[in-house]
């Protein structure tokens, strides 16, 4: 070991280690860096090279500085640009708003006719004109300015599109609503007092109301068929089941009376008024009485309609009622009610005219000569007297009757009934009836009563 550092190989410094002094005796600059070892990688790789080769002096690397551009923003300039943009945007919005406001004012003035010319213009509306036709006619005659707006407005108002043909005088100062209503049927104002005769059929009631300008046939038929009226007797009808052959669901329930109707009344309003009146006449006590007789409410109304149409006059209602009750009671012997009025009702509904019945062979479920029991539904809208008679038949043994004018002749046997028919045809019925022994008639009735009683249905 020497003061200058570790040497080997004959005192030479180790490869890779610098001496504190050079061979010349001057201080070695490399030694001033302390004990830091400087390794020459290339020298290590050349391990077989002579160690006496001079060492390369390593120059320290200087740090690299990247060039950076510094941009200085002009804040004052950007503020001016933003203000200009905002002003331009505001001007644009104002221009659009002005144009939009002008358009709205023009269209609104055309729709509501705030300020328009007060001039008269003749227009002609053709048959079956549509909304498109009306719009085009008004536009071509300069009554309206915006046809698309007029059509859209009418559609939003759910315009029915029904217009009355004719020549009209209109003006641009009429609003869209006034123009649309001008070409439509004008509703009648005021009140009409209408009397519905007792025993009218549903068809006759509809025709009567339409003749007063209240509702339409189609409207009444739709309401009868589909509207859900809130009455206990109709609920019972639905619960018991409506016969599929029934002509009108409300047959028998449209009570005949004198009513005051607004001329603008709807079909539902009219029908509801008649049904309400029926509910006042046919009370729950009537319902209980019907049950005691073994009938439903609709059965009693059905019977009452037959009584109303078959009796020659109201004083005979209770006797006529007894004939139908007796036939229904002893149905095994006489299952057919044999009422001409049921056939007449069906024919009148189908043809629109009351027929003069010459045959009972007409094919209809309402033919009580061919079908047993009551018809599918009432054949008229009976009066209060007929309803009461259906609930309280006279105590008789009659099974037949035939009318001559306003008088009916009742019989207990078919033989007597045929005699009455022949006398009526000869025109001698009154003389014949006056000469009859009433005791014999009563005796015949008692005989029939005894035989029928033993064969009565349970």
What is the DSSP track for 185-221? PPPPPSEEEEE--TT--HHHHHHHHHHTT-S-HHHHH
- Which pLDDT score, from 0 to 100, does residue 293 have? 95
How far apart are alpha carbons 322 and 395 in whole angstroms? 7
- Own/partner contacts of 347-350, CB < 8 Å, gap of 24 or more, are 348/201, 348/203, 349/201, 349/203, 349/247
The vertex-260 CA angle with 254 and 263, nearest 5°, equals: 100
How far apart are alpha carbons 144 and 435 in whole angstroms? 86
0.85 exceeded by pTM: no
Contact 383, 308 (CB under 8 A): yes
Q: What stretch of H or E contains 140?
A: helix 131-140
Query: Torsions phi, psi of 129, nearest 5?
Result: -65, 140
Give the closest residue to 174 by CA, choosing from 115, 106, 125, 113. Answer: 113
Query: Two tokens at 320?
Result: 């006529």
How far apart are alpha carbons 151 and 112 in whole angstroms? 14
Residues 6+ apart with CB under 8 A from 244: 376
Query: Torsions phi, psi of 402, nearest 5?
Result: -140, 140
383 vs 170, 255, 291, 305, 318, CA distance in Å?
51, 7, 20, 8, 13
Query: Two tokens at 167?
Result: 């020549």
How far apart are alpha carbons 272 and 184 in whole angstroms? 27
Residue found by looking up tokens 């004198």 in the block: 258
**The length of the chain, given as a count of residues:** 458
- Which pLDDT score, from 0 to 100, does residue 116 have? 81
Q: What stretch of H or E contains 402?
A: strand 400-404
- Which pLDDT score, from 0 to 100, does residue 81 have? 84
- Which pLDDT score, from 0 to 100, does residue 24 have? 45
2-47 tens-digit pLDDT: 444 443 444 444 444 444 444 444 445 444 444 444 444 444 444 4
In which residue ranges of the chain is pLDDT below 50?
A: 1-27, 29-53, 55, 443-458
- Which pLDDT score, from 0 to 100, does residue 438 have? 61
Region of 106 (left: φ > 0; alpha: ψ -120 to 50; beta: rest) is: alpha
Give the closest residue to 198 by CA, choosing from 325, 380, 1. Answer: 380
Query: Two tokens at 443?
Result: 């005796």
Domains (range + CATH), the chain: 1-37 (no CATH), 81-186 (3.30.1490.480), 202-396 (no CATH)
């Amino acid at each position: 070991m020497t003061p200058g550092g570790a040497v080997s190989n004959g005192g030479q410094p180790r490869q890779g280690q610098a001496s504190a002094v050079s061979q010349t005796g001057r201080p070695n600059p490399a030694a001033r860096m302390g004990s830091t070892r400087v390794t020459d990688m290339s020298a290590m790789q050349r391990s077989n090279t002579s160690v006496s080769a001079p060492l390369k002096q390593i120059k320290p690397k200087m740090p690299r500085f990247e060039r950076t551009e510094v941009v200085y923003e002009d804040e004052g300039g950007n503020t001016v640009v933003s203000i200009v943009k905002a002003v331009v945007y505001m001007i644009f919005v104002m221009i659009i708003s002005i144009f939009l406001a002008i358009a709205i004012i023009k269209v609104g003035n055309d729709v509501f006719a705030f300020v328009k010319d007060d001039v008269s213009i003749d227009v002609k509306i053709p048959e079956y004109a549509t909304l498109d036709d009306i719009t085009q006619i008004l536009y071509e005659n300069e009554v309206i300015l915006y046809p698309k707006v007029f059509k859209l407005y009418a559609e939003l108002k759910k315009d029915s599109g029904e217009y009355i043909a004719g020549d009209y005088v209109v003006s641009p100062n009429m609003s869209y609503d006034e123009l649309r209503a001008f070409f439509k049927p004008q509703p009648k104002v005021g009140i009409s007092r209408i009397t519905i005769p007792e025993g009218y059929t549903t068809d006759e009631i509809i025709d009567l109301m339409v003749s007063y300008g209240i509702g339409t046939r189609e409207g009444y038929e739709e309401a009868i068929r589909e509207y859900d009226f809130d009455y206990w007797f109709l609920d019972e009808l639905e619960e018991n089941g409506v016969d599929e052959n029934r002509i009108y669901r409300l047959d028998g329930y449209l009570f005949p009376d004198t009513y005051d109707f607004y001329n603008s009344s709807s079909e539902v309003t009219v029908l509801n008024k008649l049904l309400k009146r029926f509910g006042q006449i046919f009370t729950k006590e009537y319902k209980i009485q019907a049950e005691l007789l073994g009938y439903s409410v609709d059965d009693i109304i059905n019977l009452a309609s037959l009584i109303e149409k078959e009796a020659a006059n109201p004083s005979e209602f209770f006797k006529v009622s007894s004939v139908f009750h007796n036939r229904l009671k002893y149905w095994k012997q006489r299952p057919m009610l044999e009422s001409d009025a049921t056939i007449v009702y069906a024919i009148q509904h189908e043809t629109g005219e009351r027929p003069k019945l010459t045959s009972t062979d007409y094919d209809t479920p309402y033919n009580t000569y061919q079908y047993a029991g009551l018809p599918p539904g009432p054949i008229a809208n009976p009066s209060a007297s007929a309803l009461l008679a259906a609930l309280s038949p006279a105590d008789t043994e009659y099974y037949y009757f035939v009318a001559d004018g306003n008088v009916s002749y009742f019989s207990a046997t078919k033989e007597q009934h045929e005699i009455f028919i022949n006398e009526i045809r000869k025109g001698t019925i009154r003389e014949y009836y006056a000469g009859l022994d009433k005791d014999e008639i009563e005796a015949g009735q008692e005989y029939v009563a005894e035989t029928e009683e033993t064969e009565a249905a349970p």
